[in-house]
Amino acid sequence: MKQEFSENSFAPDGRWRITAAEFVESGHMGCPGCGASLSLRHALKVLGKDTVVVMPACCWAIIAGGQPTTALDVPLLHTPFAVAAAAAGGVRQAFLAQGREEVTVLAWAGDGGTFDIGLQSISGAAERGEEIIYVCYDNEAYMNTGIQQSSATPPGAWTTTTPSGKEFKYAKKDILGIVRAHNPGYLASATIAYPEDFYTKFEKAKKARGFRFLHVLAACPSGWKIDSQDSLKVTRMAVDSGVFPLVEMDAGGNLTPTVRPKKRIPVADYLKAQGRFRKLSDDEIALWQESVGKE
Ligand SMILES: Cc1ncc(C[n+]2csc(CCOP(=O)(O)OP(=O)(O)O)c2C)c(N)n1
Ligand SMILES: [Mg+2]
């Protein structure tokens, strides 16, 4: 029997019962299996209706639909690519000036808009302690414009601008380390492939003060060259192999794991599940396994 919950709550077993309320309507423009679509849908279930979304250029700017239509049931402000964090800080300041402390301002940006072009505005907003939640949904390339490499693209991954795979000398940028250096109010990594951890972290981000940052891994079936039905399975493998650890910043400023996979799988299993890593050599896979082990 389908159970419906109008509010988020905890069952006696302590597990999440997520609301049946929807703030992302059906009929949006997301591809089948789009991890980013699912992630915002569930993030808004936790954050609730008093949320304003601020979004730079990215797939999600299209997924929401072109004016005058929108798939979101909460207000949405589109911004230029580089300024989501700055604009979100401004929106929050405007609500504070009106005495409307209760409104959550959510900046929702891709990896290109975060790791690359929006990095300066994130640094500024974090330094000023802007009262916003900034989420980077990371599909590991500029997907909306046709799968170009970003500084979040992992080594070895095929993109249209790195057709033989991103070289191993270019590592994925340590975005959590960069934001941590700004002493944020809350900092974590998450993925909807581990929903309870995801919900808990968005709830904590909502309650925390200051600049809050979540790094969310979100599969892109077209860019990762996987079947859309395997989107969550492959994302879960990123966690289970140690490639994308689920962590949270503790009171001492250290990143500590929140989910310890029951069974650690080889990095090779995660990589071989995706067409974008097809050209990786065994030596390169071994290098990757070694670096995951060190971390
Ligand atoms: C200043 C500027 N440069 C380039 C673009 C074109 N553009 C729009 S979306 C996009 C890709 C965004 O990539 P990412 O932030 O990773 O989000 P994704 O599309 O992967 O969801 C690009 C290059 C733009 N809109 N503005
Ligand atoms: Mg992207």
CA proximity to 217, closest of 190, 199, 197, 240: 190
pLDDT number for residue 10 = 72
* Contact between 275 and 159 (Cβ < 8 Å): no
Task: Using a pLDDT cut of 70, give the percent of the chain over it.
Answer: 98
On the question of pLDDT at 251 being above 90, the answer is yes
188 C-alpha to ligand 1 centroid (Å) = 24
Split at pLDDT 50, 70, 90, the class of 243 is very high
On the question of pLDDT at 66 being above 90, the answer is no
Mutational pocket test of ligand 1: of 62, 78, 144, 224, the residue with most ligand atoms within 8 Å of the beta carbon: 144
* Contact between 213 and 186 (Cβ < 8 Å): yes
Q: Which two tokens stand for residue 59?
A: 């797939």
Residues with CB under 6 A from ligand 1: 36, 57-60, 81, 110-113, 139, 142-145, 150
17 C-alpha to ligand 1 centroid (Å) = 35
Closest ligand to Cα 140: 2
pLDDT number for residue 28 = 94
- Class of residue 251 by CB neighbours under 10 A (exposed 0-12, middle 13-18, buried 19+): exposed
Largest separation between any pair of C-alpha atoms in the chain: 59
82 C-alpha to ligand 1 centroid (Å) = 10
On the question of pLDDT at 2 being above 90, the answer is no
Q: Which two tokens stand for residue 279?
A: 């050209």
For residue 180, give the 3-state DSSP assignment: helix
pTM greater than the 0.85 cutoff: yes
